């Protein structure tokens, strides 16, 4: 061991406190030899039975421990808060920064020389990367992997995406209660995160693209024995990383973020990746402007044919070769020299990757589309930008001008959306306000406004929807999100009224409210912000310090 270990500051301190720290750790049943130069490896575990996606992570942690012991380290597992997408109110996004603070301070406050981050559900991966980037001790990620493909009778189902489609059929009276109950029992067949290219799958792929996991980690199904084998290898590798002093700040460089954005575009990743990547970069003092996403999107082909944009599921992606094949396909668009947790470069990691199924991962020469999945829009309705997943949108709506039907908030939308007399048609633009970081609060995934029942019955499956909300990565449709500044702080979205015309032009990257600027300014001058949702506690901290969508929604005081 070349350098003194960080943990030795705790355990080799002369005097009473060094003695008592050793004694208290030995109370867990360890012998005195654990203090003989073994790196202490924290296993930062977001296991929780309140988070089905991460409910298997204790088993993953045991595999990591085997690897750490084998390589001569001392594994010590510790919990973090866990953010289960399905259960937390009002939204897990309210708590991403809290989890990131938990991770950062747990690492910093404890005798940890290196850390293995166990995550899976949507916010848990970015939160751990944000915290570990700020703490900057050697760190490596093991994501929990996607759940098994859902099943209903002879049909394969993608959790999230197909659930929404089938539930719309139920709303339209085309599925019975008995059939819906069968679907409920089979759509999520194991622990692990959602099995389409939603936010969790996207962030797992991007953790790998950033160089923060062993190659191939992202796509291995959660119950697959090969995930435990990879976890064991990760445990061995983190001990070596401590010896090499291989910290996140050496891996998470500007070029690594550009690589991750390119992979995001190639996989047709979730719109939420934009916010999370900006926030992780901010922890290293790096700017990642929305323009960078759009520039990279324009030159990066979409090549991964997964739902919700495409046809297949994460199990198919794994069988086809996963992220290493994607990165090899677009290597010419990446910085292949970026350092990764393997101690080798991106190029060395992926250049021998072999694709086993070209229906799932296309070549860069024969992509699904020439451009990437996510586009950045701008205009008088979104001066600080908005996002749209063009690969999950309807081509005929990518240039559209229609009259707005406005919901002032989500409660209004829910109360009205199933009204048989809702005055909307296929050309209407649904607009929803008060769903941003401060307005909702917490920036929930309400942006996929359900199709109005009256239109579903007419067979209309998509329409333009605009809001300052986020959207689940498993969702689909012509849905404009993250409009910034948000309406609750007086962004132009606050000025839209039912009957106004809204223009969406994806090719020109425009989102416009078709009114004279003076009229928009006049309406905004009359705008009164709603009262804050919290006057104490974490909620108040969030409202006082959260940044807008285009800045990643981290707290202003947590950026580097
Ligand atoms: Fe956890 Fe979908 S609910 S990833």
- Taking residues 431-454, what's their average pLDDT? 96
H helix and E strand count, the chain: 20, 14
Residue nearest to atom 2 of ligand 1 (CA): 194
pLDDT tier, 320 (very low <50, low <70, confident <90, very high otherwise): very high
pLDDT at 159: 87
pLDDT at 2: 53
Ligand 1 neighbour 86 (Cβ under 6 A): yes
Q: List pLDDT tens digits, range 192-209.
A: 999 999 999 999 999 999
- Taking residues 16-37, what's their average pLDDT? 96
CATH code for 38-148+190-350? 3.40.50.2300
What number of other Cβ atoms are within 10 A of residue 554's Cβ? 24
C-alpha of residue 200 to centroid of ligand 1, in Å = 6
pLDDT at 264: 97
- Taking residues 52-75, what's their average pLDDT? 98
Assigned token pair, 261: 């954005």
* Distance (Å, whole) CA 97 – CA 128: 10
Ligand 1 neighbour 496 (Cβ under 6 A): no
C-alpha of residue 267 to centroid of ligand 1, in Å = 18
- Taking residues 87-115, what's their average pLDDT? 97
Ligand 1 neighbour 121 (Cβ under 6 A): yes
pTM over the 0.95 mark: yes
The single-letter DSSP state of residue 371 is: S
The answer, yes or no, to whether residue 172 has pLDDT greater than 90, is: no
Q: Which of 47, 48, 53 has most ligand 1 atoms within 8 Å of CB, for mutation? A: 53
Q: Which of 122, 157, 163, 197 has most ligand 1 atoms within 8 Å of CB, for mutation? A: 122
The answer, yes or no, to whether residue 402 has pLDDT greater than 90, is: yes
Q: List pLDDT tens digits, range 210-232.
A: 999 999 999 999 999 999 999 99
* Distance (Å, whole) CA 506 – CA 377: 7
Segment (H or E) for 171: helix 161-171
C-alpha of residue 156 to centroid of ligand 1, in Å = 18
pLDDT tier, 444 (very low <50, low <70, confident <90, very high otherwise): very high
C-alpha of residue 269 to centroid of ligand 1, in Å = 15
Task: Please provide residue 375's backbone torsions phi and psi, each rounded to the nearest 5 degrees.
Answer: -120, 155
* Distance (Å, whole) CA 166 – CA 172: 10
CATH, domain 376-530, list 2.40.128.50, 3.20.20.70, 3.40.50.300, 3.50.30.80 = 3.50.30.80
Q: List pLDDT tens digits, range 453-477.
A: 999 999 999 999 999 999 998 889 9
pLDDT at 108: 98
Residues 6+ apart with CB under 8 A from 456: 168, 171, 172
Query: Strands, E, within 136-175: which ranges?
Result: 139-143, 150-152, 155-157
Q: Please report where in the chains the tokens 């198919």 appear, as a residue.
A: 316
Residue ranges per structural domain of the chain: 1-36, 38-148+190-350, 150-186, 376-530
- Strands 114-119, 40-45: parallel, antiparallel or unpaired by DSSP? parallel
C-alpha of residue 85 to centroid of ligand 1, in Å = 5
Domain 38-148+190-350 and domain 376-530, same fold? Reply is no
The single-letter DSSP state of residue 548 is: P
Segment (H or E) for 314: helix 314-320
The answer, yes or no, to whether residue 276 has pLDDT greater than 80, is: yes
- Taking residues 355-366, what's their average pLDDT? 98
The answer, yes or no, to whether residue 186 has pLDDT greater than 60, is: yes
pLDDT at 160: 83
Mean pLDDT value across the chain: 96
The single-letter DSSP state of residue 195 is: S
Ligand 1 neighbour 514 (Cβ under 6 A): no
C-alpha of residue 307 to centroid of ligand 1, in Å = 14
The answer, yes or no, to whether residue 3 has pLDDT greater than 80, is: no
Of residues 233 and 165, the one with the higher pLDDT is 233
Residues 6+ apart with CB under 8 A from 296: 258, 261, 262, 265, 333, 372
pLDDT at 560: 87
pLDDT tier, 485 (very low <50, low <70, confident <90, very high otherwise): very high
């Amino acid at each position: 061991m070349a350098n003194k270990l960080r943990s030795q500051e705790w355990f080799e301190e002369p005097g009473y406190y060094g003695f008592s720290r050793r004694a208290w750790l030995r109370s867990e049943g360890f012998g005195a030899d654990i203090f003989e130069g073994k790196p202490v490896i924290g296993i930062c575990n977001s296991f929780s039975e309140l988070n089905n996606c991460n409910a298997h992570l204790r088993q993953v942690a045991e595999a990591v421990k085997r690897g750490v012991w084998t390589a001569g380290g001392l594994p010590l597992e510790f919990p973090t808060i866990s953010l289960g997408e399905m259960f937390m109110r009002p939204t897990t996004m309210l708590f991403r920064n809290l989890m990131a603070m938990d991770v950062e301070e747990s690492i910093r406050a404890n005798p940890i020389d290196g850390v293995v981050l166990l995550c899976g559900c949507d916010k848990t991966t970015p939160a751990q990367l944000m915290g570990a980037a700020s703490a900057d001790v050697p760190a490596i990620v093991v994501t929990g992997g996607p759940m098994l493909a859902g099943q209903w009778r002879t049909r394969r189902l993608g959790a999230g995406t197909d659930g929404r489609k089938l539930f719309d059929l139920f709303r339209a009276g085309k599925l019975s209660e008995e059939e819906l109950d069968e679907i409920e029992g089979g759509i999520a067949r194991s622990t692990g995160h959602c099995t389409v290219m939603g936010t969790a799958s996207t962030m797992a792929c991007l953790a790998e693209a950033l160089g923060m996991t062993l190659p191939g980690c992202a796509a291995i199904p959660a119950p697959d024995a090969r995930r435990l084998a990879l976890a064991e290898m990760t445990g061995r590798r983190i001990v070596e990383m401590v010896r090499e002093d291989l910290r996140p700040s050496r891996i998470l460089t500007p070029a690594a973020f550009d690589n991750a954005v390119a992979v995001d575009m190639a996989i047709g990743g979730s719109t939420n990746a934009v916010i999370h990547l900006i926030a992780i970069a901010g922890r290293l003092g790096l700017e990642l402007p929305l323009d960078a996403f759009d520039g990279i999107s324009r030159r990066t082909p979409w090549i991964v044919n997964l739902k919700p944009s495409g046809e297949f599921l994460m199990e198919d992606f794994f069988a086809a070769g996963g992220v290493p094949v994607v990165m090899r396909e677009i290597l010419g668009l990446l910085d292949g020299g970026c350092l990764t947790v393997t101690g080798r470069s991106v190029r060395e990691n992926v250049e021998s990757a072999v694709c086993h199924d070209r229906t799932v991962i296309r070549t860069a020469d024969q992509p699904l589309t020439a451009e990437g999945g996510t586009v950045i829009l701008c205009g008088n309705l979104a001066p600080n930008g908005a996002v749209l997943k063009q690969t999950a949108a309807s081509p005929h709506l990518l240039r559209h001008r229609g009259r707005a039907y406005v919901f002032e908030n989500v409660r209004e939308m829910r109360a009205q959306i199933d009204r048989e007399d809702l005055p909307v048609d296929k050309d209407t633009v649904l607009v929803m306000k008060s769903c941003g970081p401060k307005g909702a609060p917490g920036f929930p995934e309400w942006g996929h406004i359900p199709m109005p029942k009256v239109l579903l019955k007419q067979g209309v499956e998509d329409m333009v929807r605009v809001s300052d909300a986020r959207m689940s990565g498993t969702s689909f449709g012509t849905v404009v999100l993250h409009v910034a500044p948000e309406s609750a702080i007086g962004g132009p979205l606050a000025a839209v009224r039912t009957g106004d015309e809204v223009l969406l032009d994806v090719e020109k990257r425009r989102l416009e409210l078709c009114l004279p600027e003076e009229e928009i300014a006049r309406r905004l001058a009359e705008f009164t912000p709603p009262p804050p949702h919290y006057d104490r506690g974490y909620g108040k901290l969030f409202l006082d310090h959260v940044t807008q969508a285009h800045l990643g929604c981290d707290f202003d005081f947590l950026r580097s």
